[in-house]
Structure 1
Amino acid sequence: MTDTGPRVRRIDAPRQDRQDTETYPTVARAVTAARRLVHRHPDRCRLREVGRSRAGRPLFLLSVDDGERTVLAVGGPHPNEPVGLAAAVGLAERVLELPPRPGVGWHVLLCLDPDGAALNEGWLHGPLTPARHYEHFFRPAFHEQPELLPAPDGPLAPMPESRVLTGLIDELRPVLQCSLHGVDFGGAFVQLTRPLPGLAAGFARSVARGGIPLDVDSYDAVGWDSPAPGTYVMPAPGTRWRALPDRPELSTWSYAGRYGGVTAVLEVPMWAIDAVGDARPHPDVRAAVGAAARTLHERIAELTGLLPQVPPHAGVAYGPLLRAIEFNLEVSPLLVEEWLADWSPAPLSVSRVTTARIVAQRLPLRIASMLLRLLADSGGPAADAARARARGIIAASLEGLHRLGIRWVPIGTQVGHQTRAALAAADLLLARR
């Protein structure tokens, strides 16, 4: 990485990756780890509750050092991505190993969505396998993800967690906000609210150091500007680029821009698939994308037929799961239409086609897994048949992903890369005067 000042560290500088034990922290463990850091470094650290979730769970901010120039890291924005909690703690630990930087304060929101995290925590107490991960899977519908803000003229109000985060941005006015995300299958990439020259090369070296593929044609950034492989810049407001209803301009990522801050959304996989790093033209896009579209269409149709078997009491007790299922069932046919109309006839990279194949397996896997949780207490032949079919879709989807060549990325490697990337982005911005 090109130096921009005497205090800029190389993102790929040799250092032992953190988190030697192969476990992700629960929210409670992350808070306990933060309290220990405060106890060990009372002159540099403080921990405070900054708000409550929809269900009344506390949200904690760990601050290291003081200063008018601030960096804000957001852990646990998506509850099915536990690396965000691990990296939040790991980043604070790493900052405390470094000398205080005059005029700079670091702030780590340990978990943005503790309610969602509670619905995923069962996996953290058992073997970290794909099958067990999806036994405890939950990911909220778009409108219930705290980083995504409702339209100002729409009927929805911001969630309490969203208000906590926007309030912190108003208070801290960070020069950099790092959102600590993960993907279940694929590669690493970074999404920026505006270009950050100097980051891409070091980011790629850090990924290579961890043996992680760089996602060079990310599904999450279709149509976005990509100044370098694996680096993407969010589009201008109002730009439409795919069927999913996400609008980055209505997000806490863009919210930081009102104070001149840059947001870096850092993604790292739990299970790597090396083909997402292949930028070469795919030899038969029509056949590959068509097959992925058929797989998604057929499984979504089956899952839609199983939804009536969810008992009313399950929908009341586990409303977020039911709403997530309904959201995914609604958007999946739009993806199929998009792939067949726009992707199938086009020249695409191996990376892009691979991401479509991942989504075709992953979306039914997510829906079936959440549906199976809602059907757990249902009785009778129809419910038994629905559970059997959901299990069949889960097994077939996992098999399809295994055929893509998934391999586990050690937690220490995931956290090490995210920590290096966050520090490097901060150095580039803090070096500016």
Structure 2
Amino acid sequence: MDQRTILRLVAEVPEHEGFPLVDDLHARFDALAAAHPEQVTVTRIGTSRLGEPLHSYRIGSGSHAAVVVGGVHPNEPIGSWTALHLAETMVGDEATARALDTTWHIVPTIDPDGMRLNEAWFRDPFDRAWYARHFYRPAPDSQVEWTFPNSYRSVYFDQVLPETLAFMRLIDDTRPDLLVSLHNGEMGGVYYYLSEDLPDVIDTLHAVPASLGLPLDTGEPESPYLRELAPAVFAMDGIETAYDYLEGLGVDPGEHIHGASSAAWAMRHGALCMVAELPFWSHPDADDQTPTSESYADLLRRCADDLGASGAELQEILDDASPMLTIESPFLEGSRAFIPMIAGMTDTDRARADREPADRTATVAERFGCEDLVRCFRLRYGGMLLRALEAETTAGTAPAPLRRLRDRLAERYATWQADEATGAEPIPISKLVGVQFGAILACASHVAEGDDGRHGAGPTRASRPSLATSVPGGA
């Protein structure tokens, strides 16, 4: 499939208002399967922690296998529409399905329990204040994407979740040529992770957002140790790369690294792995390479100080509230994991700032990325802590001191909501889905056109575990 065809298909992605709720998403997939029983096979692959069946939808009978999984982080729903559009295309577009010669195994959402806790903002996803106030992200050890088995030096992880086990079995049963884990970011531009340096694929990964008028994110990467294959395209280097980097800074890697990713598991079978990270909002500074008057080291220190101050405020409220909390909600579990993590992140940034050349000037894109990370984290995790406290006030179990802490946090949170980045614009959902869809087509086309009989032959590609975010669970 040539690039022109991919761009045509991307341009045909329909517009959507908001994101589908979990029940609606499942109903749409079930209706597709019922309407096309000769093309779609539904297989139960596992059960969520709260007892919901997990299904994979097999479409087609091509000679290559692809696994595409949504909801690996339940606050990242762009992949819901992408998964559905991919399924509908492979059922209804015979020419495209034939050209890709692929058997698709699509999981609409692998963490329905977590996704339901974000549904309050799915209908209106472009109000960042509303989004953050109703935000939920599981604690790292409760994230499907980052709870695959891992063993490297002092790190050993085997606390596999039921959803992760289902994901693992699907990968092992299908031995995919291609794995796509459907993610998205929050603010800025488009960027990718790719397990192999493939110039033909990378060229299309750049062409797709350009055709839709979306910028690449060329500012601060998710982690400083990422290896750039091309602008806004990063290698899926292994967990050991993160470990060695943190250790070199004098930071205990065991505080940041636990489980491995889905790509790490799939690469054991020789899979090409790809992640397309997409923002809900774009900003003109996201790809502005103009130098600023601030050194990069000073930028790191300044933003570390700002983030550390916000983290300290949240930690104080959490510590004061903890003796009075009786409801072990997912919001409390997440708060207890992420709020202390903020302090560790600031220590890491200060340590790496000391190693930056004094004359290395920050770009506008880097400044925007660092400053917006501060806004992102205090809005996300301040909102989650508020939800944890409100679980008590709503249930009627909160004593007066806990209600006062809730009011104190709500007042501080309102000031953070007011400190929003000016100039941010929401991106039409069709363009976001289009980027993911186009990236999938580019990778599947590469696999189909480069058939060398590797499928099912074991780990013939690079077999190092992948790292698809800055710190597992952190982004």
TM, length-normalised to structure 1: 0.90
Correspondent of 1:352 among 363, 366, 378: 366
Q: Does the C-alpha gap of structure 1 residues 104 and 156 become closer, same or farther in structure 2, counting only changes over 3 Å?
A: closer
Q: Tell me, yes or no, if the aligned pair for 1:17 and 1:413 is still in contact at 8 Å.
A: no
Aligned residue for 1:373?
A: 387
1:66 pairs with 2:61? yes
Find out whether 1:340 has 2:350 as its counterpart.
yes
User: How many matched pairs?
Assistant: 426
Give yes or no for contact 2:71–2:80 (8 Å, CA) kept in 1. Answer: yes
2:178 touches 2:447 (CA, 8 Å); kept in 1? yes
**1:17–1:415 contact (8 Å) kept in structure 2:** no
CA distance in 2, matches of 1:350, 1:126: 30
1:10–1:126 Cα change, 3 Å = closer
8 Å contact kept, 1:277–1:351:
yes
Structure 2, unpaired ranges of 5+: 452-475
Q: Tell me whether 1:26 sits opposite 2:40 in the alignment.
A: no
Report the counterpart of residue 303 of structure 2 in structure 1.
292
Residues 144 and 257 of structure 1, relative CA distance in 2, 3 Å threshold: same
Tell me the distance in 2 between the aligned counterparts of 1:97 and 1:314. Answer: 52
User: Structure 1 residue 313: deviation in Å?
Assistant: 8.1
Given candidates 399, 406, 412, the residue that maps to 1:387 is 406
Match of 2:85 in 1: 90
Decide whether the 8 Å contact of 1:289 with 1:357 is kept in 2.
no
Question: How far did residue 188 of structure 1 move?
Answer: 1.3
Tell me which residue corresponds to 2:469.
Answer: none
Q: Deviations over 1:312-357 (max 9, x none)?
A: 7855341x22221122222212222222332375424433332221
SS of the aligned residue for 2:156 comes to coil
Whole-Å separation in 2 of the counterparts to 1:221 and 1:297: 18
Please tell me the residue identity of whatever aligns with 1:354: F
The equivalent position to 1:254 in structure 2, one of 244, 251, 264, is 264
1:97-176 equivalence runs, <5 A: 97-99=92-94, 100-101=97-98, 104-126=102-124, 128-148=126-146, 149-152=148-151, 154=156, 156-176=158-178
Deviations 1:372-421 (A, max 9, x none): 11111334553343223322343333333323x32111111111111111
Give the CA deviation at 1:253: 0.9
The aligned amino acid for 1:171 is: D
Unaligned stretches of 5+ in structure 1?
1-5
Distance in 1 separating the partners of 2:111 and 2:324: 24
- Normalising by structure 2, what TM-score? 0.82
Q: Considering only aligned residues, what root-mean-square deviation do their CA atoms show, in Å?
A: 2.6
User: Does the C-alpha gap of structure 1 residues 27 and 200 become closer, same or farther in structure 2, counting only changes over 3 Å?
Assistant: same
For the residue of structure 2 that corresponds to 1:47, the secondary structure is strand
In structure 2, C-alpha distance between the alignment counterparts of 1:36 and 1:429, rounded to whole Å = 29
Distance 2:257 2:8 in 1: 35
Q: 1:80 aligns with which of 62, 66, 75?
A: 75
SS in 2 for 1:239: helix
Cα 1:125–1:13 change in 2 (3 A) is closer
Question: SS of the residue aligned with 1:238?
Answer: helix
Give 1:406's aligned residue. 424
- Partner Cα distance (2:378, 2:170) in 1: 36
1:402 partner SS: coil
Distance 1:258-1:417 versus aligned 2 partners, 3 A rule: same
2:324·2:399 contact (CA, 8 Å) conserved in 1? no
